[in-house]
Structure 1
Amino acid sequence: MAFENLRKYWPTYSFAQPFNAMMLLAAIVASFLFFPGQGTGDGGSSGTLLKFLHLFSVCTHFGTQTWVTFVAGLTMFHNLPRHTFGHIQGHLFPKYFTMGSVLGLVAMVTYMYEHRHGDMTTHQKIEIGVLVSVFVSALLNAALIGPTSLELMTQQYMIEKEHGHGDEIGTHPSGKIRQDPKYQKVRRQFLQYHAISSLVNMVALVGNGIHVYYLACQLAGI
């Protein structure tokens, strides 16, 4: 069965994704050729490439956060069996947090590099603090909070399976399992880490929202 699934999906992995990446890269290269924009200047003024990397990282991260937080998660939670939903999240969230860490790092470094010369304004200093908080938040979820939360979720699901639960949609099991002290302990720990993870994710989401607004204020027009 596993071999059949590999044969079924291998064309997608080996062709579709590299093709999509190449098309995106080609579009970016074409944009640089037709719209060269600003070249590298003096006094800490970056070129178009650096600005593009900054905008791309911030917008990609912010868009992914918005989709995962407000659309994908809620849709799956209310339409999939709870354990199925959890297992999907268990595969998605490590990638989501890791991607956020990388994008947050790129956004932070490019902004700091852009303002490496001269005195920064108060607003610029605030934006650096915002970008640092976005990166640190994503990194905490990727390296510490997220993995612990997923491990506790796995332990919780194992106990629920023993009691014949897991196929419920959008709800938590009731009955004798609620009297299981081991289950109550694991579930309480999971809810605590899940709440912390959600709060840290919200810090990164709000931070990106603030920075996007700041960038919009710098635009001369659209």
Structure 2
Amino acid sequence: MAFENLRKYWPTYSFAQPFHAMMLLAAIVASFLFFPGQGTGDEKGSGGTLVKFLHLFCVSAHFGTQVWVTFVAGLTMFHNLPRHTFGHIQGHLFPKYFTMGSVLGLVAMVTYMYEYRHGNLTTHQQVEFGILVAVFVSALLNAAVVGPISLDIMNQQYAIEKEHGHGHEVGTHPAGKIQQDQKYQNVRKRFFKYHGISSLVNMVALVGNGVHVYYLASQMAGI
């Protein structure tokens, strides 16, 4: 149930997305050749440039996706698409969004652990590791539990709305006789409950990544 929608994902074209991926990989390889940094991490206490790159890439990719989905894509679709169309699109996007966040969060957490595998962590490093754990757990919770439940309840709500001839409204909930339908009101309350939980859990991951990005910035010697 949690990941069934992922089977439907495939690049839109057989050339465009793979080509972008190949160019990105080539650019990364070229960067390692021209800017070798610390190499593979022979220095004690350092995971080297590769581990640092993986960590920074995963944190920034996750954080950037969160900002886009939360503040741009979702609001744009909500204010311009019929409610049911918006909901069904979100129903296909969110499983991928949460799953990708779980994977990126896991890699960020593991690479951080690997980077500081030698010696004891300072208080600040312990806090940052706790934040990364919270980010990973939050994304995983949404991917495996809260998200699928919210999607199932949303489909129940939409089914009732269709029976009453609703679903074409943009940005607002239907009014009229449907508001007297007790079954609809119960389903709607459950949806708001789980949608609120999902939003709160997503906020934890968003804030956690924001704090960690600031922490990484504070560790930079320069730009």
Q: Which has the higher helix share?
A: 1
Unaligned runs of 5+ in 2: 1-9
Separation in structure 2 between the aligned mates of residue 81 and residue 11 of structure 1, nearest angstrom:
26
5 Å-filtered alignment, 1:136-155, equals 136-155=137-156
5 Å-filtered alignment, 1:1-222, equals 12-39=12-39, 40-222=41-223
Greater alpha carbon shift after TM alignment, 173-182 vs 197-206? 173-182
Deviations 1:125-161 (A, max 9, x none): 0000000000000000000000000000000000000
Separation in structure 2 between the aligned mates of residue 149 and residue 32 of structure 1, nearest angstrom:
43
Separation in structure 1 between the aligned mates of residue 211 and residue 11 of structure 2, nearest angstrom:
41
**Residue 119 of structure 1: how far off its partner (Å):** 1.2
What residue in structure 1 maps to residue 7 of structure 2? Answer: none
Unaligned runs of 5+ in 1: 1-9
**Residue 12 of structure 1: how far off its partner (Å):** 4.0
Deviations 1:13-68 (A, max 9, x none): 31111111101101101111111111213322111110000000000000000000
TM-score by length of 2: 0.94
Deviations 1:182-221 (A, max 9, x none): 1011110000000000000000000000000000000000
Q: Label 1:181 to 1:135 Cα distance change in 2 as closer, same or farther (>3 A).
A: same
Q: Label 1:11 to 1:45 Cα distance change in 2 as closer, same or farther (>3 A).
A: closer
Q: Label 1:33 to 1:137 Cα distance change in 2 as closer, same or farther (>3 A).
A: same
Q: Secondary structure at the match of 1:14?
A: coil
Q: Secondary structure at the match of 1:107?
A: helix
Separation in structure 2 between the aligned mates of residue 119 and residue 59 of structure 1, nearest angstrom:
26
User: Which amino acid is the alignment partner of residue 37 of structure 1?
Assistant: G
User: Which amino acid is the alignment partner of residue 109 of structure 2?
Assistant: M
TM-score by length of 1: 0.94
**Residue 11 of structure 1: how far off its partner (Å):** 8.8
State the aligned residue count: 213
Separation in structure 2 between the aligned mates of residue 185 and residue 125 of structure 1, nearest angstrom:
43
